[in-house]
């Protein structure tokens, strides 16, 4: 037994010695003060270099790369060539990440350092170069401001005084193609391995700056595609003699409608026009219609705009979606050819059924309101509108209590006015010959009662008149009636 133990002791000592030698060798391998053999950084052979020498040369080569000048030329009139360095363009390298990776060779347990050294022997690391577009822009913008500040000019549709349609072309502006310039700069950047041990900046890089043309938001082609080719309908009404408030209301609403473009199938909504008019211009005092009477109010005159537009729509062959006549005849168009408006009650709407875009032009000045429609329409087709009275409504008699009269006495206050039922027909013509007709409306204009004061000796239920009925106070041709106190 003792002989066996004595025999094993030398073997154990030998193994321990070998282990100690291996550990020592491993520690010595991991503790070397040079970089692993055959290690390269972006093609630069750094194997066997001391850490200090590598760090000094890395800093020098990075500085040389960032200091390399770039001469940029832009093929734009008035822009001189610009010379900047890669550093001024915002270039950055991944040197910090590279250092962090190599730090594992110098820190940690002997085993970990030896493992890292073994892993990196013959490795090919990369020193990446990045170039943010913001840095490129920041370097170029002060010198080449027009490439960044000039704005494209939209194409315009021009309508002459004699209603001819033409176009003013849009203007594009040159812009730096930043993504392509960034790619070209990175491709032309000097390689870290080519800078040499003396690490001086490379020869200047010559680059033509890629330029693109920024097109206007609205192009002539897009405008022409809309199909607004010519004027095909027009109507005019007069508002001479209107009060200043009524003139303001008419001209303001007409200004909102002016230059409105409806796409194919779009529905014009006069209610939205009134909302925008009130928001932008406000309405002034002018007579409105309430319960068949003309009274002071706010917004009087707005229906002259809807009526004038309605007549142009009829004569343009467009589809009327919603329209109603006034409760009383008006003076500026024949009965049956008016279109009133009452917020939340009566609207005027029509659809662009031409198949192409429709442009509405308005002018309101010197007491003349004109609406013109421009678009695509057959030149041999026209429309004629005729209205006729088909029924006359005799005025009723309305008795109004007047306690100042003697009991049983009656006295005329106001004569009544007849009402009418009117039918309006639209005739479609081709080369002047009627090829179709359409009954577009049958309108009733209320008769206005004759008012007779009376004193029957009985008091009305609400003190207003003998009928005891309160008026509905719906406002036509305006937005607000008088405020009763």
Q: What average pLDDT does the segment 177-189 reach? A: 94
Domain membership of residue 72 (yes or no) is yes
121 in the same domain as 244: no
The yes-or-no verdict on residue 360 having pLDDT over 50 is yes
Domain membership of residue 349 (yes or no) is yes
Q: What average pLDDT does the segment 136-143 reach? A: 93
The yes-or-no verdict on residue 367 having pLDDT over 60 is yes
Domain membership of residue 417 (yes or no) is yes
Residues 6+ apart with CB under 8 A from 83: 69, 70, 71, 72, 204
236 in the same domain as 129: no
pLDDT in tens, 51-105: 999 999 999 999 999 999 999 999 998 899 999 999 999 999 999 999 999 999 8
Residues 6+ apart with CB under 8 A from 241: 367
Q: Decide which of 189, 214, 239 is a domain's last residue.
A: 214
Domain membership of residue 187 (yes or no) is yes
Q: What average pLDDT does the segment 314-335 reach? A: 95
Q: How confident is the model at residue 463 (pLDDT cuts 50, 70, 90)?
A: very low
132 in the same domain as 238: no
Quick one: pLDDT at residue 370? 98
Of the candidates 440, 483, 130, the one whose C-alpha atom is nearest the C-alpha of residue 297 is 483
Domain membership of residue 65 (yes or no) is yes
Percent of the chain with pLDDT over 90: 68
Q: Are strands 165-168 and 156-159 parallel, antiparallel or unpaired?
A: antiparallel
> Which is more confidently placed, 307 or 465?
307
CA dihedral defined by 308, 314, 317, 318, rounded to 10 degrees?
70
143 in the same domain as 255: no
280 in the same domain as 182: no
The yes-or-no verdict on residue 198 having pLDDT over 90 is no
The yes-or-no verdict on residue 299 having pLDDT over 60 is yes
Quick one: pLDDT at residue 300? 86
Q: Decide which of 194, 214, 234 is a domain's last residue.
A: 214
269 in the same domain as 137: no
pLDDT in tens, 220-276: 999 999 999 999 999 999 999 999 999 999 999 999 999 999 999 999 999 999 999
192 in the same domain as 319: no
Low-confidence winner among 155-164, 191-200, 228-237 (lowest mean pLDDT): 191-200
Q: The domain containing residue 35 runs over which residues? A: 30-151+176-214
469 in the same domain as 348: yes
Quick one: pLDDT at residue 479? 62
Quick one: pLDDT at residue 478? 63
- Split into its structural domains, the chain has a count of 2
Low-confidence winner among 1-10, 35-44, 300-309, 373-382 (lowest mean pLDDT): 1-10
Burial of 481 (0-12, 13-18, 19+ CB in 10 A): buried
254 in the same domain as 201: no
Rounded-to-integer distance, Cα 227 and Cα 223, Å: 8
184 in the same domain as 276: no
Q: What does pLDDT average to over the chain?
A: 88
3-state secondary structure of 267: strand
Quick one: pLDDT at residue 410? 79
Domain membership of residue 369 (yes or no) is yes
**Burial track 259-280 (b if 16+ CB lie within 10 A, e otherwise):** eebbebeeebebbebbeebbee
The yes-or-no verdict on residue 13 having pLDDT over 70 is no
DSSP alpha helices (H): ranges in 295-370?
302-315
The yes-or-no verdict on residue 4 having pLDDT over 60 is no
Domain membership of residue 126 (yes or no) is yes
The yes-or-no verdict on residue 389 having pLDDT over 50 is yes
Rounded-to-integer distance, Cα 324 and Cα 17, Å: 113
For the CA atoms of the chain, what is the radius of gyration? 45
Q: How confident is the model at residue 294 (pLDDT cuts 50, 70, 90)?
A: confident
């Amino acid at each position: 037994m003792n002989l066996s133990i004595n025999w094993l002791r030398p073997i154990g000592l030998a193994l321990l010695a070998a282990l100690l030698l291996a550990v020592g060798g491993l520690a010595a391998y991991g503790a070397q003060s040079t970089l692993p053999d055959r290690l390269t950084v972006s093609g630069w052979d750094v194997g066997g270099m001391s850490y200090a020498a590598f760090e000094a040369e890395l800093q020098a080569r990075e500085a040389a790369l960032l200091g390399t000048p770039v001469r940029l030329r832009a093929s734009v009139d008035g822009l001189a060539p610009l010379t900047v360095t890669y550093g001024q363009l915002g270039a950055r390298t991944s040197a910090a990440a590279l250092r962090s990776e190599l730090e594992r060779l110098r820190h940690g347990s002997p085993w970990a350092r030896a493992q890292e050294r073994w892993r990196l022997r013959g490795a090919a690391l990369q020193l990446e170069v990045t170039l943010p577009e913001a840095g490129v822009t920041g370097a170029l913008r002060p010198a080449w401001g027009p490439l960044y500040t000039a704005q494209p000019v939209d194409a315009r549709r021009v309508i002459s005084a004699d209603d001819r349609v033409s176009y003013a072309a849009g203007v594009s502006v040159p812009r730096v193609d930043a993504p392509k310039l960034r790619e070209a700069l990175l491709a032309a950047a000097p390689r870290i391995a080519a800078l040499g041990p003396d690490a001086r900046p490379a020869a200047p890089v010559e680059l033509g700056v890629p330029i693109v043309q920024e097109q206007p938001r609205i192009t002539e082609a897009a405008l022409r595609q809309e199909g607004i080719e010519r004027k095909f309908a027009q109507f005019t009404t007069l508002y001479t003699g209107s009060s200043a408030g009524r003139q303001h209301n008419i001209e303001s609403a007409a200004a909102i409608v002016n230059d409105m473009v409806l796409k194919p199938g779009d529905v014009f909504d006069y209610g939205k026009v009134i909302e925008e008019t009130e928001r932008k211009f406000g309405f002034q005092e002018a007579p409105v219609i309430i319960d068949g009477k003309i009274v002071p109010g706010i917004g009087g005159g707005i229906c002259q705009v809807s009526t004038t537009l309605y007549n142009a729509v009829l004569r343009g062959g467009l589809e009327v979606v919603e329209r109603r006549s006034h409760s009383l005849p008006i003076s500026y168009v024949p009965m049956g050819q008016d279109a009133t408006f009452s917020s939340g009650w009566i609207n005027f709407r029509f659809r662009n059924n031409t198949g192409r875009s429709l442009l509405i032009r308005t002018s309101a000045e010197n007491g003349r309101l004109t609406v013109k429609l421009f678009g695509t329409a057959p030149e041999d087709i026209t429309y004629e509108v005729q209205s006729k009275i088909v029924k006359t409504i005799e005025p009723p008699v309305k008795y109004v209590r007047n306690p100042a009269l003697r009991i049983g006495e009656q006295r005329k206050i106001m004569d009544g006015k007849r009402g009418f039922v009117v039918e309006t027909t639209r005739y479609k013509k081709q080369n002047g010959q009627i090829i179709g007709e359409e009954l577009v409306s049958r309108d009733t204009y209320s008769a206005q009662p004759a008012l007779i004061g009376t004193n029957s000796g009985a008091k009305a239920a609400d003190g207003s008149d003998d009928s005891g009925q309160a008026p509905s106070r719906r406002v036509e041709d305006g937005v607000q009636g008088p405020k009763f106190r």
